[in-house]
Amino acid sequence: MIRPFSLVLSLLLVVSCGSNRIPEPSDSSSATRQQSALKARLEQVLFDQIVKPPTRLPLDEAMMSALRLNRLQQIDSSVDTALLRADQRRLLEALRWADAQAIDRTEAPGVQAQIGIEPWLHARLQRLQEIQRPPAANPTERSQQVGEADSDTQQFLDLVQDAIFTQAQLNPLDLDYRRLDPLLIKPTFLSTNQAFFYQQNDSSIRVNRSLLPHLAWADAEIIALTQGLPGHHFLDAQNPSPNWFPAHSRANRSAMSLFLLERLAQEPYYQTIYSETARLRHLMLTTLIYLKAVDANLTLDFFRQSLGTLTMSEPRLEQAFNRALKNRQTLIAEAEALRSIERAVFSQGIPMQPQGLKAEARARLATLIQSLNLPLQAVKP
């Protein structure tokens, strides 16, 4: 491999920083181990230098693809990839996967995804519908709306905060919630087609003020879990890899927040009717939104009929329906990411609804959470 001497020298200085000399080896085997360790560190530092993205990534996907290919070529010509860390190997595989996708793409973007994802979404919707409780087990107060009063608005936001605190204390999925920034919950008056969302630049959950009166009280827990913990506030802080795939990164975090929400169904604290009704309603509504993004012919009546007894206010339902019309490619990417997560975590015969996640499934989940900046189709947990 041919490398610029100045780069190799700088890497040597990096890995030897803080030491004036290399200790004398006690024997030849110790010397060999030290040399191997030093070589591995050199290769890993060199890889990190190559894949460091520019300060501002281009918005155009063609330019992004060209930049990724350039980095991939530098790696292949300069780095001994056998000596890379596990996280570096995952990034390398993602770069190779993206390059192969660019070469093999013969149809318009999104066509293959739509063809492959629709049957899976219908199967998912059917599975969720089979979980629905009879009407007697869904009293109307589970769908009672917040209303217009300012005091009710504040009470709802306080409920979101309380649900986040409870999740942080229970932490049934055993996630690392340490070192997270303080989290704010605020209404937003800005025009948005989302009922609620996480805003990373100020670590805040924003609730659409125009829709807030039409939300159910039970939705406070859903907002806390999907946008706070273990959702976006936690997931957006996991950035171990350079973000060469911003579109995938956004979709992956939204999909993972849904996946973790569904896993909480196995935890005793979240098995009350109050939690189950809101959780199932949100999971079904999101699946319907994904289906609408794939099939533009789906109607609002299809949404109503599919939800069955899990009723919600008409403004909230219309907002969800219209969102699918305006964000099709983003939503399809989220659906693809959710399918990839389920396949990765529940591979090798692990059942879809275990009593908690088994150890091997938890290990794969941990790897995926550390890989959210990558196309999950390319990640091998």
SS3 144: coil
Number of domains making up the chain:
1
More reliable by pLDDT, 107 or 32: 32
Q: Is residue 56's pLDDT more than 50? A: yes
Name the residue among 285, 272, 276 with its Cα closest to residue 311. 285
Question: Would you say residue 309 lies in a domain?
Answer: yes
Say if residue 37's pLDDT is above 50: yes
Q: What is the pLDDT of residue 356?
A: 55
Q: How high is the mean pLDDT of the chain?
A: 87
> Which of 202, 231, 224, 230 is CA-nearest to residue 158?
224
**pLDDT number for residue 353:** 47
Per-residue pLDDT of 114-143, as tens digits, reads 558 999 999 999 999 998 765 545 555 567
What is the reported pLDDT for 26? 56
State the pLDDT at residue 142. Answer: 62
Tally of CB atoms within 10 A around 54: 7
* Among 22-31, 103-112, 178-187, the least confident range: 103-112
Ranges 1-5, 71-75, 303-307: which has the least confidence: 1-5
**pLDDT score, position 281:** 96
Whether residue 351 is predicted with pLDDT greater than 60 in this model: the reply is no
Which residues are registered as beta bridge partners of 206? 186, 197
Is residue 294 over pLDDT 90?
A: yes
Residue 30 lies in a domain: no
Instruction: Measure the CA–CA gap between 76 and 121, rounded to whole angstroms.
Output: 38
Classify the C-alpha dihedral 370-371-376-381 as positive or negative: negative
Q: Inform me whether the pLDDT recorded for 101 exceeds 80.
A: yes
**What are the Cα distances from residue 377, in Å, to 76, 94, 113, 293, 368?**
22, 8, 12, 20, 11
**For residues 273-281, average pLDDT:** 94
Of the candidates 311, 326, 343, which has an alpha carbon nearest to the alpha carbon of residue 123?
Answer: 343
* 27 within a domain of the structure (yes/no): no
Q: Are 265 and 172 in contact (CB under 8 A)?
A: no
Rounded to whole angstroms, what are the CA distances from 380 to 84, 119, 341, 362? 15, 24, 11, 14
Residue 9, in any domain of the structure:
no
Residue 6 lies in a domain: no
Give residues with Cβ within 8 angstroms of 15, minimum separation 6. Answer: 38, 41, 42, 45
Residue 251 reports pLDDT greater than 50: yes
Q: What per-residue confidence (pLDDT) applies to 213?
A: 96
User: Average pLDDT in the 369-375 region?
Assistant: 94
How high is the pLDDT of residue 204?
A: 98
- By mean pLDDT, which of 177-181, 227-231, 359-363 is the weakest? 359-363
| pLDDT at 334 > cutoff 90 | yes
Give the pLDDT band of residue 380 (cuts 50, 70, 90): confident
Look up the domain containing 321 and give its range: 111-378
Q: How far apart are CA 307 and CA 265, in angstroms?
A: 18
Mean pLDDT of 177-184: 95
Q: How far apart, in whole angstroms, are the C-alpha atoms of residue 22 and residue 153?
A: 64
User: Tokens standing for 322?
Assistant: 């219209």
Among the residues of the chain, which ranges form H helices? 5-15, 28-51, 61-78, 86-104, 111-131, 150-170, 219-223, 232-235, 246-263, 273-294, 300-307, 314-326, 328-345, 359-369
Backbone angles phi, psi at 68, to 5 degrees: -65, -40
User: Which of 19-33, 198-212, 231-245 is predicted least confidently?
Assistant: 19-33
pLDDT of residue 358: 74
Q: Is residue 19 part of a domain?
A: no
Is pLDDT at 177 greater than 90 in this prediction? yes
Task: Lay out the sheet containing 184-188: strands in order across.
Answer: 184-188, 204-208, 196-199
pLDDT per residue over 184-193, tens digit each? 999 999 888 8
Residue 208 lies in a domain: yes
Residue 3 in domain:
no
Neighbours of 240 (CB within 10 A): 13
Whether residue 3 is predicted with pLDDT greater than 60 in this model: the reply is no
Q: Is pLDDT above 70 for 276?
A: yes
pLDDT: which is higher, 74 or 274: 74
Q: Which residues of 96-119 are buried (b: 16+ CB within 10 A; e: fewer)?
A: ebbeeeeeeeeeeebeebbeebbe
Question: Taking the chain, what is the end-to-end CA distance rounded to the nearest angstrom?
Answer: 30
Chain-centroid distance, C-alpha 218? 23
Phi then psi for residue 207, to 5 deg, are -110, 125
Asked whether residue 236 carries a pLDDT value surpassing 90, the answer given is yes
- Residues paired with residue 204 on neighbouring β-strands, in sequence order: 184, 199
Q: Does residue 107 carry a pLDDT above 50?
A: no
How confident is the model at residue 285, as a pLDDT?
A: 98
pLDDT tens digits for range 196-206:
999 999 999 99
pLDDT at residue 4 tops 70: no
What is the pTM assigned to this prediction?
0.86
Distance CA 326, CA 344 (A): 29
Flag whether pLDDT at 367 surpasses 50. Answer: yes
